[in-house]
Amino acid sequence: MTSIDRVICGNDDALAAGPDLLVRNIGQLCTLDAPDAPDAARAGPRRGAGLDDPGSVGGAALAVHGGRVLAYGPQAALLARCGAPRAVHDAGGRCVVPGWVDPHTHAVFGRTRQDEYERRLRGETYLQIAAAGGGIQSSVRDLRGRSDDDLRELTVARLREILEYGTTTIEIKSGYGLSYHDEARMLRIAGDAAAAVGLRVVRTCLAAHEVPTEYRDRRDDYVRLVCDEILPRIVDEGLAERLDVFCEPSVFDLEQTATILRRGRELGLRAAVHADELEPFGGAALAARLGADSADHLIRIDDAGIAALAGSPTVAVLLPGTVFSLGLRGYAPARTMIEAGVAVALATDFNPGSCPIASVPLIQSIACTQMRLTPAEALAACTVNAAWALGLQDEVGSLAPGRAADFLVLDVDDVRLVPYHAGRNPVREVWRDGRRLVAR
């Protein structure tokens, strides 16, 4: 791990004139910036050894202006170049890191599904429960029967908790509506609830999460409905920036997935794919070939899938909380992927069925002990690479000059304590755009 021992500044005159905010007395500042990396490495997500470098500055200060990072560096050196700040905040010798970016959630839903949790513990599998009318279909029935107000209230409460765990940017998928009307409702509520809480949000239309029961015997008709009606109307109304498809043999096959991804591309949507979760099926390779920003899950990815991702900008978004929550044995082969040169990110997959975990710090713990990521790799996977997975790398995920001043003051002085203390919330303060949203 290299440490940065000089001031990195985006605008010397603005720094000399005095920033809006100076955060001082930072014991360990993890910038996730890489000012000395070659341009080629900075032009893409972190891979290989690049994932293991948090861009640390010890005894640091951070200057913020206009809601953006202006400069950072060793405190004495930064102060020597810094005019009088309008506000000063003392970090008390603690760690400061970028706000977490969670690039895969299903955070709009009605009831929780602890009944299925218990059924799985008693021996049924996720697929058996789904085949018996549970699973995604049960959340669809529940959501279709709920009022907007009810759903919004539930979502706001969940997002508040998510913000307290340090997530400042969240991706939220639809996918429990499976009709234009209910998918649009979910995406509107996702946007409204995130705005109410102060989270930065990216909305993803996952109309292709499952085939609704009313289309069970004419699955291709549902694919046509998604392509010809649901996606175009969602785009017209500005309700989503991305689309996603659950690509599995029992849900949407490779051809149906490709049809939907191509339609999304015509409509200007960025894309993700739920891929190779239950079986090695070629979903990751398809995502890479069709230029998706991410391929997600990948528990059962094979060598061909790993090679396809390694040779592409598509980010592998791993969701170890799902494996943990389902009580499965096999995690995604993260080490093999990292060593092959795949760009790896982490996300919660927060949803009522397969993963009720909303805490990014807990996901880091699981990633470290179960997939053998180092704490620094887990940190990069939840910040800079997660931002790449959403196409937001120029906005969030690192504290490089010019990025949004979204950062966390942790209650620890060594960032390895974040995954080490599994199950505890290490977040003391949450700042977004240079304003403090949470103080615990």
Q: How far is the CB of 319 from ligand NIG (least distance, A)?
A: 7
434 near ligand NIG (CB under 6 A) = no
Residue with smallest beta-carbon separation from Fe ion:
349
CB of 134 to ligand NIG, least distance (A): 9
Which residues, in sequence order, are bridge partners of residue 409?
A: 96, 429
Examine residue 398 and tell whether it contacts ligand NIG (CB under 6 A).
Answer: no
Contact residues for Fe ion (CB under 5 A)?
349
354 contacts ligand NIG (rule: CB under 6 A): yes
Of 167, 256, 322, 364, which lies in the binding site for ligand NIG, with binding defined by CB under 6 A? 322
Nearer to ligand NIG, 137 or 167 (CB): 137
Q: How far is the CB of 283 from ligand NIG (least distance, A)?
A: 11
Nearer to ligand NIG, 254 or 437 (CB): 254
Partner interacting with residue 354 (select from ligand NIG, Fe ion, none; CB below 5-8 Å by kind): ligand NIG
Sign for the CA dihedral angle at 318, 324, 325, 326 comes to: positive
The minimum distance between CB 411 and Fe ion, in angstroms, equals: 30
Query: Which of 197, 149, 150 lies closest to 172, judged by CA?
Result: 197
Residues from 261 through 300 that contact ligand NIG (CB under 6 A): 274, 277
**Residue in 174, 204, 348, 351 binding ligand NIG, rule: CB under 6 A:** 351
Closest residue to ligand NIG, Cβ-based?
353
**Pick from ligand NIG, Fe ion, none: which does 353 bind, CB < 5 to 8 A by kind?**
ligand NIG
The nearest distance, CB 218 to ligand NIG, in angstroms, is 22
Taking CB within 5 to 8 Å according to partner kind, which of ligand NIG, Fe ion, none is near residue 136? ligand NIG
* 120 touching ligand NIG, by CB under 6 A: no
Interface with ligand NIG, residue 349, by CB under 6 A: yes
Q: Please count the residues of this chain forming the interface with ligand NIG, following the rule CB under 6 A.
A: 13
Q: Which of the listed partners (Fe ion, ligand NIG, none) does 246 bind, with a CB threshold of 5 to 8 Å by partner kind?
A: ligand NIG
Rule CB under 6 A: which of 90-109 touch ligand NIG? 106
208 vs 337 by CB, closer to ligand NIG: 208
Give the per-residue contact string, 127-146, with ligand NIG (x = CB under 6 A; - = no).
--------xx--x-------
Which residues of the chain form contacts with ligand NIG (CB under 6 A)?
Answer: 106, 135-136, 139, 246, 274, 277, 322, 349, 351-354
